[in-house]
Chain A
């Protein structure tokens, strides 16, 4: 049972970190796609959404080749910064962040596109620099749409299995997330443990959805 709690804590830690990374990068990229017109924009958009449709094992393999000790990024990381990503919880975070990113990016782009440009013009004319306009007008108005994407991203990161297994492996307490723990329990015929793990995962997801419902932004136009 202790291993079940460990797996839960680890899953939450990995999912939260992955969602945080996906949030920052996804909002930035989503904003760029919404506001900047450049040649090949739609192509870039499609490529960035690939992790959403690629089989997780394919993603995991690409990642492994890239950040493994023999991969060009992994080799550089190890030689210059002494960082190894494979078989670490940080590696699990990277894998989960990559699959979660498209959810945030897509909804962020749509949300930013729905913000009336005139409001940003009004803020500019009132003396605000572009960064201030973004944080005071654009972001608050896009927040709701972005939050919807973040929730999906979190759920996806929490359930990530294929890519995580390939990149982070299964190390109890360090990279054995709930999904992997369930898989192994079933493989070993430990149905009792599997049931506990599945119940935990479901309860966590329900709790996340309820929490999100309470914090979903502010006002609905038309209601006093």
Chain B
């Protein structure tokens, strides 16, 4: 079904590229701990952690001899690493904006990007919190001393949250109460520990730590929380990279994503 996404020319040149890929893989082998012939490095947004690991496992099982290494962090941070030359094959970010920046900097071919999942931004509180806020305005109350938000400059979840608060006219009032988290998972951790009274994370993150946090309400965002994925132009293993991208878009992987709480793209 998704074979149409593969250029037919690639099939012919595939042998040559395979050879290059193997050589590159061997080079990596020399430098790294004993690893099998094909290795893929995937940098993905922190919120994709649980889901993508499972998908990676399925991918490797379907293609024996391939391993997938994951690098999870805030999308902005990952982008910087790639821009500075990190040897990454596939990039999956938590918002279109970061991917757009990647395209703008020539790291990703415009046609290569595809949205593969959607998420919801939610406000969560520690599981032992006395009261549940019901709307953004409730967070202004003094009982909410600190709010965890990803650092907007590099964390998409933080950007979504700030945008939502700004459009509700609440950002000036709440900005002084925010604690900047380096990734959405760190924001989740702050809430789980009870160090903050509330935090902005994705619904999928909240369900990952369902025992320690409770979802208070969903935050409507002006732009939908959509996750794009793309093989990087400078990838040393383009064929496998594209295969992975295709795999993520295929039904088996999508089912895994659904199970983890992600909506279809």
Contact = CB atoms under 8 A, between A and B. Distances in A.
Interface in B85-111: 101
Q: Please report whether the interface of chain A is mostly helix, strand, loop or mixed according to DSSP.
A: loop
A189 B76 contact: yes
Nearest to B178: A171
Nearest to A86: B195
Interface stretch (A5-13, A18-26, A51-59, A180-188): A180-188
Interface stretch (B179-187, B227-235, B239-247): B179-187
B81 to A, nearest CB: 9
B153 interface: yes
Contacts of B180: 169-172, 176, 184
A87 B153 contact: no
Q: Please report whether the interface of chain B is mostly helix, strand, loop or mixed according to DSSP.
A: mixed
Nearest to B194: A69
Given A169-B181, A169-B190, A188 B195 contact: no
Contacts of B178: 171
Contacts of B74: 187
Contacts of B101: 189
Question: Size class of B's contact patch?
Answer: 20 to 34
A185 B77 CA distance: 10
A70 B194 contact: yes
Contact of A169 (B76, B79, B179): B179
Interface of A: 64, 68-70, 86-87, 165, 169-172, 176, 184-190
Interface of B: 74, 76-77, 79-80, 83, 101, 146, 151, 153-154, 178-182, 190, 193-196
Q: Closest 4 A-B residue pairs measured CB to CB?
A: A188-B153, A170-B180, A187-B154, A187-B77
22 contacts: A64-B193, A68-B195, A69-B193, A70-B193, A87-B179, A87-B196, A165-B182, A170-B151, A170-B179, A170-B182, A171-B178, A184-B151, A184-B180, A185-B153, A187-B74, A187-B153, A187-B154, A188-B76, A188-B151, A189-B80, A189-B83, A189-B154
